[in-house]
Amino acid sequence: MAIPSFLTIYNELISTPTISSVSNEKLDQPNRPVIDKLATWFNDLGFTISIEAVPNTRNKFNLLATYSNNDNHSQGGLLLSGHTDTVPFDEGLWHKDPFKLTEEDNKLYGLGSADMKGFFAFILEALRDMDLKKLTKPIYVLATADEETTMAGAAYFAKHTALQPDCTIIGEPTSLIPIRAHKGFISNSIKVVGKSGHSSDPDKGINAIEIMHLVVGQLLKLKQQFKDKYHNDGFTVPYPTLNLGIIHGGDAANRICGCCELVIDIRVLPENDIDTIFNLVCDTLKPVMDQYPNRISVEHAVIPIPGYECKKDNPQLQNIEKLLCKTAETANYSTEAPFLNKIAPTIVLGPGSIEQAHQPDEFISMDFLKPGKMTIEQLIKDFCL
């Protein structure tokens, strides 16, 4: 059955809100309406649809659409992957309706137009006129849940799938430049509990800010150790970074501070194990913890996401670089690649610019329309014909 036009599909995706938010439950929306629309269109093109609930989410779903002319569905071929959710939007800063595709000045505006619901419209557009009967290897399209928050959709899929594609493409907006690696991140919250009292006699209390001062001293040593110990030439900042991001403590100048919290952000290299780095944070703070027993706690502020790297000499990567006549780069943002890379070599590559992701008046330049479709066609022909 014929599917709607490219712009109709694009508009339907944008006008079906799928915001995900962990911190604000009221903002969090179901993604099933978009999943169902995708299911209809891919089904109309002859794909087999599988929709699965993702555990530990607020009723979110992954979709896998499969087209295969062989019985052996799980061998080779290409997996095209995208996330169905968007970040929340700041109403006061948008000049356009975030939930309507607006065409203006050679741009398509809308929440998710670049990051990255539109990617599915590009895939459908590339498949529309293709003679799928000729394909010798399967095409898979994966639509994931909650990428913008916990990455639970991709993590769950990667853990449970039996698929073995030759390559995975995540269509995040990379301006159609292949991305082969990015850093991961860890955010830790460090809480210090002191003992409050009147400022006139500091010895009668335990000042949490003074303890935090020692904590910060230790963390700055760790920051330097990261720089000295780890190195990856693929990144412009070639070592793990440690940033002191938020600090809150105390409630009055004339009170001994009873409680202080620090939140740090660590950007790890692909080769850094998340648990090892977390243990280094704890080990660094051990001398202060020993000095002040049961007063310091460290925990993850958000679920840590590992880094990822597809090595420069990976044959699938080299194949794509040759096909597109482009050299792969590394990025400084996070994607679902650390999870999907466990199934097959994964490249992040899609139309639209990351500059517009998570921004008010998000848009995709219409200059990406033709090359975006062509790139997906090229990839499908190369991997599946």
- The CA R_g of the chain, rounded to the nearest whole Å, is 24
Q: Which one, 172 or 361, has the nearer CB to Zn ion?
A: 172
Q: Among the options 28, 85, 309, 362, which is catalytic?
A: 85
> How far apart are CB 90 and Zn ion at their closest, in Å?
17
Q: How many residues bind Zn ion (CB under 5 A)?
A: 3
d(CA 201, CA 210): 15
Interacting residues with Zn ion between 56 and 115 (CB under 5 A): 115
Active site residue 147: yes
> How far apart are CB 360 and Zn ion at their closest, in Å?
16
d(CA 339, CA 99): 30
> How far apart are CB 120 and Zn ion at their closest, in Å?
13
> How far apart are CB 329 and Zn ion at their closest, in Å?
17
> How far apart are CB 337 and Zn ion at their closest, in Å?
11
Do 300 and 188 contact (CB within 8 A), yes or no?
Answer: yes
Interaction mask 148-187, Zn ion, x per CB under 5 A: ------------------------x---------------
Do 35 and 50 contact (CB within 8 A), yes or no?
Answer: no
Interaction mask 113-152, Zn ion, x per CB under 5 A: --xx------------------------------------
Question: DSSP readout, 87-116?
Answer: ----GGG-SS-TTS-EEETTEEESTTTTTT
> How far apart are CB 151 and Zn ion at their closest, in Å?
10
Interaction mask 242-281, Zn ion, x per CB under 5 A: ----------------------------------------
Residue 90 burial (10 A CB sphere; 0-12, 13-18, 19+): exposed
Residue 371, Cβ neighbours under 10 Å: how many?
Answer: 14
Q: Among the options 147, 166, 172, 362, which is catalytic?
A: 147
Active site residue 85: yes
Residue 277 burial (10 A CB sphere; 0-12, 13-18, 19+): buried
Q: Which one, 318 or 332, has the nearer CB to Zn ion?
A: 332
Question: Which residue's Cβ lies closest to Zn ion?
Answer: 115
Q: Which one, 111 or 116, has the nearer CB to Zn ion?
A: 116
Compute the residue count for the chain: 385
Q: Which one, 68 or 335, has the nearer CB to Zn ion?
A: 335
| Long-range residue pairs from 203-206, CB within 8 A, at least 24 positions apart, any chain | 204/256, 205/256, 205/258, 206/256, 206/292, 206/295
Q: Which one, 28 or 115, has the nearer CB to Zn ion?
A: 115
Dihedral, 21, 22, 25, 26 alpha carbons, nearest 10: -20
By three-state DSSP, how is residue 1 classified?
coil
| Token duo for residue 102 | 């607006």
362 binds Zn ion (CB under 5 A): no
Residues that bind Zn ion (CB under 5 A): 115-116, 172
Catalytic residues: 85, 147
